[in-house]
A and B are shown apart, each in its own frame.
Chain A
């Protein structure tokens, strides 16, 4: 339990996952930026049809699309569109440019795709595998690190299970072989790690506990820490007391009144208490340490300066019970 956790940046593929609304895209961007600042060549891969990562780096950005583009030195970003990835894959397999294009563009093929479940997930992972394998002219990997902003599906980790399922479903042929390669990448503890993001709130924590259990039992993918996003600040008793005390004779110029401030601080205290409970619960239930991220005071839009906080996502994960033991000993 106290064994040091392998640094995040030692992996090749980090899959940032979590329910919608927990700040998954923000964490993926922090991580990509932090890795770039550490000197790595990074690819940030979006999977949601609605792009949102580029807007953290540029105001009114153009679409990334399947070709992607460079957002910062050493940081490229793409959005993996399943249809384009499929066309790319089929072209690589068949080398029949025009005929293949005509088939892929046909209405009947579109309907086949509507009917065939699971291919989106498989082709998404296939593309990630392809990027992971790619090298530059000198034979070095094109990217040191690939950060994936995973689909915010209601079905948790289904997409990571598809390579295994696909092999059972298709059994033979190149697709089965390729699915095997992709599955090996998912399971490889050296190269791949799952990074769950949660909020210190009851429902996100419950979902994270289920997600980590499934990652271990069904998917067999490495997971070594949980990012707890938007941890609220916990006011000290001294601060609460001084604001609650009418005889403190505190008149402020710019801040709201002492009583109003006391209300805000008491609310913050109550939130922080709930948050501490949930943070401890998720850590204990998953038997994993946590990385705390504060509410991004600067915001997360381009130009807000959030990049200065990016390194915090690389902090050594901590064990919440140990904090408490340390605090009560002190």
Chain B
């Protein structure tokens, strides 16, 4: 990516590729559906930035064991720890790279601890019956708790760049819209009505809202039983006592998400079936006004570049393939294979699968490229690995491949 492009931005404030993001962004968020290798890409990018001398933190969610080993994360809690370079490639010493695990199951408890104005409020929230059982299901709370950890790292001033691996979510907006959803929930009329001090909890408070609300409460109690509404309003008023802290926190988190110094990398899988999720993320990022630096298409299956996979899969070559199978079966029989026919059929299956995977990957690449056409968004391809990540050196090779695989 040419540095002359620097500063040229589309109206979506896209970045100009990964190089620029690694050089000058303060926050780099790796977004994408689950199971596409987001965590590995985030780690490889962080390592590259640190090698270039920037003080970098990678916040990771759920690394595979070998990746966690490479980053020295095994057994660590959620405090940043320096990544130690054990010189498999001759480079010993340290680089300015810290790694930290985001709490994989962030609970609301941590937030309550942080945001409660006093110990009594904290106890009141944590001991509420509804809270104890159901806080996990409260809209966006887990995602918001993760974002809070990002904010703390950014505001600590200890890092030039924070690379964030986003938690898995069934839908793209779950993560990115968590602050907004939580705030809307807390500012909603219902919650506000329940918690206004003049109207103490319980259904008595609802009477001022008139007949329809009163009837609704009657309906709820008829089904859920007397006492449920008391518990619910107690819960909501306790949670709402945290509102001030939430509101300050959510707006700061949102500033970071769409700030001038933030870039996004969209990681997508090349497997068939992963494309709709990736396109949905593109929509979500656009809706948020997020500056997108690059799209990484990960886990491209090997296939000989000189053969056009789509053409190869088009019907018509059945006779020739049958002759190829016969040739292979002959060769296998000569070398003493015990079931030449089965082996030839298996090769046929492997070739077809590889060709199909390549065709699907190319189709995905074309569709995403069309969507970002005319924007300053880099495009990177990474091959599927056939073994576990081999330490930091392995991670570095993935970083190199990312940039070698860049496409105009």
A residues contacting B by CB (< 8 A) are: 19-23, 48, 90, 93-94, 99-100, 102-103, 106-109, 111-112, 114-118, 121, 151-155, 158, 162, 165, 168-176, 199, 202-204, 232-233, 235-236, 238-239, 241-243, 245, 248-257, 260-261, 263-268, 270-271, 274, 295, 297, 299-300
Given A254-B317, A255-B347, A256-B307, 17 more A-B residue pairs with CB atoms under 8 Å apart are A21-B273, A90-B223, A93-B223, A94-B219, A103-B212, A103-B216, A108-B190, A115-B188, A117-B138, A168-B129, A175-B228, A202-B388, A242-B332, A252-B324, A256-B312, A264-B302, A274-B387
Interface residues in B308-354 by Cβ distance below 8 A to A read 312, 317, 320-321, 323-324, 327-328, 331-332, 335-340, 342-343, 346-347, 349-354
- Chain B facing A: main interface SS: helix
Interface residues in B127-150 by Cβ distance below 8 A to A read 129-130, 133-139, 142
Q: Is the CB of A297 within 8 A of B320?
A: no
The CB with the most chain B CB atoms within 10 A, among A107, A115, A153, A261, is that of A115
In the assembled complex, the Cα of A175 lies from the Cα of B317 at a distance in Å of 64
Known: A154-B170, A165-B133, A174-B223. A256 touches B347 (CB 8 A): no
In the assembled complex, the Cα of A23 lies from the Cα of B272 at a distance in Å of 11
In the assembled complex, the Cα of A136 lies from the Cα of B315 at a distance in Å of 48
Q: Is the CB of B303 within 8 A of A264?
A: yes
In the assembled complex, the Cα of A175 lies from the Cα of B277 at a distance in Å of 36
- Chain A facing B: main interface SS: helix
Find B335's partner among A235, A248, A274, A297 (CB 8 Å cutoff).
Answer: A248
Asked whether B167 is an interface residue with its Cβ less than 8 Å from the other chain, the reply is yes
Find A117's partner among B62, B135, B222, B340 (CB 8 Å cutoff).
Answer: B135
Residues of A within 8 A of B342 (CB): 236
Asked whether B123 is an interface residue with its Cβ less than 8 Å from the other chain, the reply is no
Show 7 residue pairs from A and B whose CB-CB distance is below 8 angstroms, ordered by the A residue: A107-B189, A117-B136, A152-B170, A248-B335, A250-B328, A268-B354, A300-B273
Residues of A within 8 A of B274 (CB): 21
Q: Is the CB of A274 within 8 A of B386?
A: yes
Q: Is the CB of B137 within 8 A of A115?
A: no
Give A257 Cβ to nearest chain B Cβ, in Å.
7
In the assembled complex, the Cα of A238 lies from the Cα of B339 at a distance in Å of 9
In the assembled complex, the Cα of A51 lies from the Cα of B171 at a distance in Å of 13
Residues of A within 8 A of B62 (CB): 203
In the assembled complex, the Cα of A235 lies from the Cα of B350 at a distance in Å of 9
Asked whether B290 is an interface residue with its Cβ less than 8 Å from the other chain, the reply is no
Give A118 Cβ to nearest chain B Cβ, in Å.
5
In the assembled complex, the Cα of A107 lies from the Cα of B213 at a distance in Å of 10
Residues of B within 8 A of A172 (CB): 225-227
Find A265's partner among B135, B215, B347 (CB 8 Å cutoff).
Answer: B347
In the assembled complex, the Cα of A93 lies from the Cα of B317 at a distance in Å of 64
Give B298 Cβ to nearest chain A Cβ, in Å.
13
Residues of A within 8 A of B142 (CB): 154-155
Q: Is the CB of A100 within 8 A of B137?
A: no
Q: Is the CB of A20 within 8 A of B35?
A: yes
Give A285 Cβ to nearest chain B Cβ, in Å.
13
User: What 4 pairs between A and B have smallest CB-CB spacing?
Assistant: A173-B225, A238-B337, A111-B190, A270-B386
Residue of B nearest to A203 (CB): B64
Residues of B within 8 A of A256 (CB): 304, 307, 312, 351
The CB with the most chain B CB atoms within 10 A, among A109, A111, A249, A297, is that of A111
Residues of A within 8 A of B367 (CB): none
Give A5 Cβ to nearest chain B Cβ, in Å.
28
Find B136's partner among A107, A158, A242, A252 (CB 8 Å cutoff).
Answer: A158
Asked whether B6 is an interface residue with its Cβ less than 8 Å from the other chain, the reply is no
Residue of B nearest to A168 (CB): B133
Known: A169-B134, A202-B64, A202-B65. A297 touches B303 (CB 8 A): no
Q: Is the CB of A239 within 8 A of B136?
A: no
In the assembled complex, the Cα of A162 lies from the Cα of B185 at a distance in Å of 22
Give A22 Cβ to nearest chain B Cβ, in Å.
7
Q: Is the CB of A170 within 8 A of B228?
A: yes
Asked whether B236 is an interface residue with its Cβ less than 8 Å from the other chain, the reply is yes
Asked whether B60 is an interface residue with its Cβ less than 8 Å from the other chain, the reply is no
Find B137's partner among A117, A171, A173, A248 (CB 8 Å cutoff).
Answer: A117
Residue of A nearest to B134 (CB): A117
Q: Is the CB of A169 within 8 A of B228?
A: yes
Q: Is the CB of A19 within 8 A of B337?
A: no
Bitwise, B154-180 to A at CB < 8 A (1) or not (0) is: 000000000000011110000000000
In the assembled complex, the Cα of A94 lies from the Cα of B312 at a distance in Å of 63
